[in-house]
Amino acid sequence: MALLLGACAPPVRPPAFAPREEVPLAGVSVGKAGWPSPEWWRSYRDPQLDRVVALAMRGSPDMEQAEARYRAAQRAVDTARAELNPQVRGLLNGGHGYSDVDVRGDVPGAPGNAQGFQLNPGHSWSNSGAAGALATWDLDLWGKQKDAVAAAVGQARAAEAERAAAATSLQYNVANTYFDWQAQQARIGVARHAATSAADYRELVALRVKHGLDDPTALDQADGRLAGMRRSVAQLEGAARLDLVQLAALAGVSPKELGTLTPSPLPMPDTRLPPDARLELLARRPDIAAARWQIEASSKNIDQARKAYYPNVSLTALGAFLRTYPDLGSGTRTDLTIGNIGAAVQLPIFSGGRLRAQYESAQAQLDLAVAQYDGAVVQAAGQVAQGVATLTALDEQRVQVDRQYEASAAQKRKAADRRAKGLIDDRTWLDADMQLDQQRDARLQLTSQMLSANLSLIHALGGGYRADDLPELPAARGGEDSTR
């Protein structure tokens, strides 16, 4: 009967849609193998950046939360594994009691006064004590508890991958903010030089207007240009201060605890890309690894829910000893020793739809996990493709920006030569100098954008994360039902 009822368990069906196995991407040509490396930020050879990243990894609230979730998932695995082991419960009980018995009643069928009776043995004091042990062991013949352990392991591995995702995200944000601060510092230097040139230009125009050589409107134009230059300096300085606040927030410290950061030249972004057109996203990104482990955990939950239809077989053993003194002082004592060992079988016969609901809920969780996995893969592919396209476009722009800079530099050299010969005054030379500063700023902005795009691509590729032990996806079963 137990076997017949257990056969009513539903089969495990595969997901409604197959998880993606590959992420083909076009446009990725020659590059470096094994990029990015696990500690990719060290390739910039910037001790300041290394220090800030290390500070953030130690004190970030996001990392503390991810670490706490991982530890909780590990403890859940320990709890599930402990259910496979035998259990022994002990009992020790002692009591001191008082009794006063007075029994009154009628004797059925007795004539007259003989119908009534009364018993009153009096009161007494008693002691009693009991000691026992109960041992139980679920044999887990069908592997239901082992499936629970596997599901807990899947959740723990997912939490581990999520911790890695938090780390890669933190490292990317720290590096991106740090290099943005460096870019702001470089641009501030250029903007201050341009403001100084604009101030000198304004002084020359003011002298010419004073002596009637220029129209007064020329001075208004010079004042407007100088105000615009100084406004750019103020904006850049404010942006740099905001970057420091963001760095401190990422590291979970105050801005003072960041220490003094020294400006340094921006590194030239590396636009070389990995040679693999699929980019090995399934092993590179921790969020994809976490989603895959969620699929594994959900699959095991289905197995566990299905095996709830099967009978539970367990071994039990009981040993107990009872001693009572029903009437203290009388010398009367009662001892009772009990021992029992045997097997117990429990089988759900009627659950009111509970088991079916649990099974369907587990199946829905698997469908959700597969959908989230596919979404993570598609999103990752889009981010990588966008990063590749952005770097390619910026690299093409760099050629034109360099040409504009060289043209402005040549114009300034010619203006300086003509100025030395007395053919032009300082206004023309200062104007050429300010135009060259504009091109310097344009080059810095483009370098900063390329560096940011390069960091974004590193993050899209998982930031150096590698997973070499991912579970197989439940997609290769061809759509047939399977009991796994």
Q: How far apart are the C-alpha atoms of 265 and 469, rounded to whole Å?
A: 41
Residues 460 and 380: beta-carbon distance below 8 Å:
yes
Q: Which amino acid is at 441?
A: D
Residues 462 and 284: beta-carbon distance below 8 Å:
yes
The pLDDT value given to residue 177: 96
Q: How far apart are the C-alpha atoms of 323 and 333, rounded to whole Å?
A: 7
In Å, how far are 147, 302, 479 from 15, measured between CA atoms?
A: 18, 11, 8
Closest CA to 170 of 67, 285, 62: 62
The pLDDT value given to residue 3: 56
In Å, how far are 104, 250, 252, 300 from 63, measured between CA atoms?
A: 76, 10, 10, 28
The pLDDT value given to residue 89: 92
Element of type H or E holding 121: strand 116-138
Q: How far apart are the C-alpha atoms of 123 and 118, rounded to whole Å?
A: 15
Residues 136 and 316: beta-carbon distance below 8 Å:
yes
Domain ranges across the chain: 8-83+143-310+353-460
Q: How far apart are the C-alpha atoms of 375 and 252, rounded to whole Å?
A: 31
Close Cβ partners of 430 (under 8 Å, ≥ 6 residues apart):
197, 198, 200, 201, 204
The rounded radius of gyration (Å) of the Cα atoms in the chain is 40
pTM value? Answer: 0.78
The pLDDT value given to residue 50: 94
Nearest 5°: the CA angle 344, 348, 349 is 120
Q: CATH class for domain 8-83+143-310+353-460?
A: mainly alpha
DSSP state of 119: E
The pLDDT value given to residue 460: 87
φ and ψ of 43, to 5 deg: -65, -20
Helices (H), 421-464: 426-460
Close Cβ partners of 95 (under 8 Å, ≥ 6 residues apart):
127, 128, 129
φ and ψ of 132, to 5 deg: -160, 170
Q: What's 389-422 look like in SS3?
A: HHHHHHHHHHHHHHHHHHHHHHHHHHHHHHHHCC
Residues 251 and 55: beta-carbon distance below 8 Å:
yes
Closest CA to 230 of 204, 258, 257, 202: 202
The pLDDT value given to residue 271: 67
State the pairing for strand pair 334-346/116-138. unpaired
Nearest 5°: the CA angle 147, 365, 14 is 75
Q: How far apart are the C-alpha atoms of 211 and 283, rounded to whole Å?
A: 74
pLDDT in tens, the chain (484 residues): 555 555 555 665 544 445 554 444 433 333 444 557 788 899 899 999 999 999 999 888 888 888 899 899 989 999 888 888 999 999 899 888 888 777 777 766 656 555 666 666 677 888 888 999 989 988 888 888 898 898 998 889 889 888 989 999 999 999 999 999 999 999 999 999 999 999 999 999 999 888 888 888 989 999 999 999 999 999 999 999 999 999 999 988 888 888 889 999 999 877 666 555 444 566 678 888 898 889 989 988 988 888 888 888 889 999 999 988 877 777 788 888 989 998 888 888 887 788 888 888 988 999 899 889 888 888 888 888 888 888 889 988 999 999 999 999 999 999 999 888 888 888 899 999 999 999 999 999 999 999 999 999 888 888 877 776 777 766 544 434 433 3
Close Cβ partners of 109 (under 8 Å, ≥ 6 residues apart):
none
The pLDDT value given to residue 280: 59
Encoded tokens for 131 = 């000691």
**Per-position b or e across 438-458, b if 16+ CB within 10 A of its CB:** ebbbbbbebbbbbbbbbbbbb
The pLDDT value given to residue 55: 92
Residues 161 and 467: beta-carbon distance below 8 Å:
yes
The pLDDT value given to residue 479: 39
